[in-house]
Amino acid sequence: MVQSVAASAAVPRGMLIADAWAQLGDAVAPLSNASGRPLARTVKLILDPLVLRPTQNPRFAGGVVGVEHVDALRAAIRDAGPALAATAAWFQLVKKARRRAGVTEGHPQDLYFQRCFELAHLHGDPRSAAGAAGVAAEAVAEVHAERGEVTVDRLRGFVTDPTRAIELAGLLRTAWEDRAGETQAPAPQAGLTEFLDGCAIKPDEHLWKSLGRYRVGTAEAAGLDRPGVAREFGLTGRERPVPPEIGDRASKRQLPRPFDRSIMERLFAAFTAVFQRESMADIPSLVVGEIHRSAAAWQLADEPGRVTMALGRDASAGLGELADNVPASDANARLLRRWQRESYVHRVLRLPDAEAPGVPEELREDVRHVRGAYLRRLWARLHGRELRGEATPADAVWDLLDGVLRSVVMDQRDRLRRVLERHGGRA
Partner 1 sequence: MTDFSIERDDSGIRVGSLPPHPERTALVEARGALLAWDVLDPHAHPAADIHDPDLAADWLWEIYGPEAASAVLSGASRIATVEETGAEVEAQAESGSTPGPGSNPGPGSGPESGPGSEPGPESEPGPEANLGPGARPESDPGPDPGRESTTPVLAAARALAHLRWAEAWWPSSHEAAVPALSIPLLRAEIAWRTAGIEHLLDDEEAVERALNLDLGPLTALESDPVLGTEALALAENLTELAEDYGVALQTAPARFSPEDWALAAGGAEAGDLVLGGGATPVDWALVPQGLVDGAGEARWTLAHRGGVQMLTVAVPAAPNAVGVGVGPTAREVRPSTGEVAPGTSEFGPNTGGAASGAGEIGPIGFGAALTARIGTAEIGLHHDPNTGFFTGEAQAPQGFLMLPGSDRILRVFAPAFAIGTAAAEPDGPARRAAIIAFAQARLTTAGASLAERAAARGIGA
Q: Where do contacts with partner 1 occur on this chain (CB under 8 A)?
A: 1, 4-5, 8, 12-15, 18-19, 22-23, 25-26, 28-29, 32-40, 43, 62-64, 95, 99, 104-109, 111, 200-201, 333-334, 337, 341, 344-345, 347-350, 352-353, 355-359, 403, 406, 410, 414, 419-420, 422-427
The residue (of 299 and 332) whose beta carbon lies closer to partner 1 is 332
At its nearest, how many Å lie between partner 1 and the CB of residue 201?
7
CB-wise, 62 or 131, nearer to partner 1? Answer: 62
Q: Which stretches of 189-329 are DSSP H helices?
A: 192-198, 205-213, 216-220, 229-232, 263-273, 283-294, 303-315
CB of 95 to partner 1, least distance (A): 6
Q: How far is the CB of 147 from partner 1 (least distance, A)?
A: 13
**Residue placing its CB nearer to partner 1 in the complex, 13 or 383:** 13
Task: Say if CB 136 and CB 93 are below 8 A apart.
Answer: yes
Q: How far is CA 235 from CA 174, 228, 238, 365, in A?
A: 23, 10, 9, 14
Between 111 and 287, name the residue whose CB sits nearer to partner 1: 111
Number of Cβ within a 10 Å radius of residue 182: 12
Residue closer to partner 1, measured from CB, 317 or 427: 427
Rounded to whole angstroms, the Cα distance separating 327 from 329 reads 6
* Inter-CA distances, 405 with 221, 382, 417, Å: 21, 14, 18
Q: What is the Cα–Cα distance from 336 to 319, expressed in whole angstroms?
A: 6
The number of C-alpha atoms within 13 Å of 136 and in the hemisphere containing its C-beta is 28
Cβ proximity to partner 1, 119 vs 359, nearer residue: 359
Residue closer to partner 1 (CB basis): 53 or 413: 413
- Helix (H) and strand (E) counts in the chain: 20, 2
For every residue of 239-252, DSSP letters joined together read: SS--PPP--S---S
For the chain, report the end-to-end CA distance as a whole number of angstroms: 43
Least spacing, CB of residue 55 vs partner 1, in Å: 17
Q: How far is the CB of 137 from partner 1 (least distance, A)?
A: 17
- Residue 113, H or E segment: helix 108-123
Which amino acid, 126? P
Contact (CB, 8 A) for 290 and 266? yes
Label residue 96 exposed, middle or buried (CB < 10 Å: 0-12, 13-18, 19+): middle
Distance CA 103, CA 92 (A): 15
Give the nearest distance from C-beta 263 to partner 1 in angstroms: 29
Alpha carbon distance 217, 267 (integer Å): 23
Alpha carbon of 346 to those of 23, 113, 333, 353, 373: distances in Å? 40, 35, 20, 8, 18
CB of 221 to partner 1, least distance (A): 29
Distances (CA, A) of 83 to 48, 90, 92: 14, 10, 14
- Plot region of 215 (φ>0 → left; ψ -120 to 50 → alpha; else → beta): left
Output 317 or 351, the one with its CB closest to partner 1: 351
Q: Which is nearer to partner 1, 4 or 163 (CB)?
A: 4
CB of 308: closest distance to partner 1 in angstroms?
A: 19
Beta carbon of residue 348, minimum distance to partner 1 (angstroms, whole number) = 5
- Rounded least distance, CB 63 to partner 1, Å: 4
